[in-house]
Each structure stands twice: as C-alpha cells, then as structure tokens.
Structure 1
Amino acid sequence: CQIMEDTTASSDLLRTIIPYYEQILQRELSHRRMLSDLGVTLGRRMATPTHTRLSQSASRRASLDSEEVTTRCEVTKKICYLSLLMNSTTDQTYCLEQGVLQAQKKKKSKFCLIYRYTEEELKKIMEDAKTRLTALSPPEPAPVQRRKSRKSES
C-alpha cells in the first residue's frame, strides 16, 4: 500500500504494481465478506504509528507497539499487513484465509477483525494510483494522416 500511495512513484512502477494490488484487494475484500457472512461483525482499526495520537501516554504507546508485533498468523506465520482475525477468547491471530476456516470451525468463539484500512480506503488507494498513472503517462499521439502521392492514385 505504501508504494501505491507514494506520489513520487514512476509510471513504470505503478503500471507494474497496480495489477498485483488489484489481486490483493480482491482477495482481501472477498475474505472480509466471507467473515461477515460467518457472523464476524466486531472490527477495529489496527494500532499503527500513523493512527495513534501523539498525546498518548508512554504505557499506552508501549501496548500499541506490542500489538503491532502480534500481526503474524498463528497457523501460517504470514505477516498480516492489511488485516487479521483475532480470537478474542484466546488472543490468537489469524490471516484472513485461516480466519475464515477458524470462524467456520469455532462458531461459538468471539472473533474480531482488525484492519489497517477500511474497504473504502483500500479502493481509494487504487483509484488514486490509477489517476496518478494516467497523469504520468504521456498522451498517445494522434495517428498521422499521410497524403496519397499522385503516382499511387493513377
């Protein structure tokens, strides 16, 4: 996401990364919908340096920093950058793929979706990157009309 939001990214980089981001976005939103269908309604924003207030106490910031460390899936050990599912009873964290499986198995458990960006923010990042790419790309030249030579008309 940071590359997509980087206003200094070149058109070549944007052209390369946008298709990957579209795939990630589609998978992310699909898993969020599946979790919603399974009854996971609780959600909160991930504590990140950009979303914390400067006036917070040191102990509060320390607890937020420790939460940032727990963003690995308990099963796959993947880093959960965009979002994760947390079992509020056991404090176990899962990537969304594993979260769907866990929510299907443990219907009585209380799960919480923790996300870095809302669905609207993710879509806006994509739109903004496409707009920047369009602005950076030179306009395609108009086709040149060539005159027919008099010899070819005969």
Structure 2
Amino acid sequence: MMRDANRYGRIGAICLLIAWLSIGTALAAPVAEPDPAREARAHRLFTEVRCVQCQSESIADSDADIAGDMRREIRADIAAGKTDGQIRQELFDHYGDYVLFRPRLSLGNVALWLIPPLIVLIGAIFLVFSNKNRSKSKDYDLTDEEEKKLKALLKKRD
C-alpha cells in the first residue's frame, strides 16, 4: 500500500513539473504586436539588427535570449512612438556599430574599406617601377684598358 502511495506521489510530482514547464514556455513565447503595421515595422527592424550572441544572424532568426530581449525592446520603442532612426541610434549607442547589418558611414568604416585596396595599389606601383629600373641596367663590359689591368692583377696573384 505504501508503495502505491509513493508511486502515485511521484507521478503527481512529474505531472506538476510538466504543467509548470508548459506554463513557463507559454509565458516565454514572443508576443506579437496587435497592430499589423507595427508588427511589420518591428519585423523589418528585426532583420536589420544583428544578434550580439550569434553574430551571424539577425534577431529575427535568432533563438538566443538576448535576441528575444532586443525584440521586446524594439517593440516597446515602437509602442512608445520612437522612429526607426531613433531606435537604430539607441541600439548603436548601447551595442556599437557592429549590431547593425548596414553600418553607418564613418571615417573608421571608410578606412577599413579603402586601406586594403590602397596597399595593393601601392605594391603594384612599386613593382612596376622596380621592374622598369631593372630593364634600364647599364652594360658593365670591361674596356680594353680595364681588362689589361685585371689580367695584370691576376698574374701577380698567381
């Protein structure tokens, strides 16, 4: 009799655990914006923002907790009446330039894009000019007088 009570107690505990986990996942599910226009705007912003944990996915595609937090934050900003530019600026201020898939035009970004081709161009120019100098090398044949001096020096040495 005692065994049956323990067995039913365990089964009841397992059922309570399953019910508790189900409620937790239901509460954690993303809440869609009731206004379809706001939700479309939010989704458009989700695709422009990089997940800071996954780094190669947008927050629309990421299942990371931080991506969910960022989605909730964007939805709250939209509900508060902020513009897309203000939301992007807030994300930029908080996470840096890396969080946006389309980074802003800045001196640092321009340098990152222009310095490698400039290095290649400078290297190519250097190679072209160094090869031109080689083709213009002088003739170093000895004159008759220099050949006589060389033969005399070699005879002395022997």
The TM-score with structure 1 as length reference comes to: 0.27
Q: TM-score, normalising length from structure 2?
A: 0.27
**Larger RCO (CA within 8 A; separation ≥ 6):** 1
- Higher alpha-carbon Rg: 2
Structure number with higher strand proportion:
1
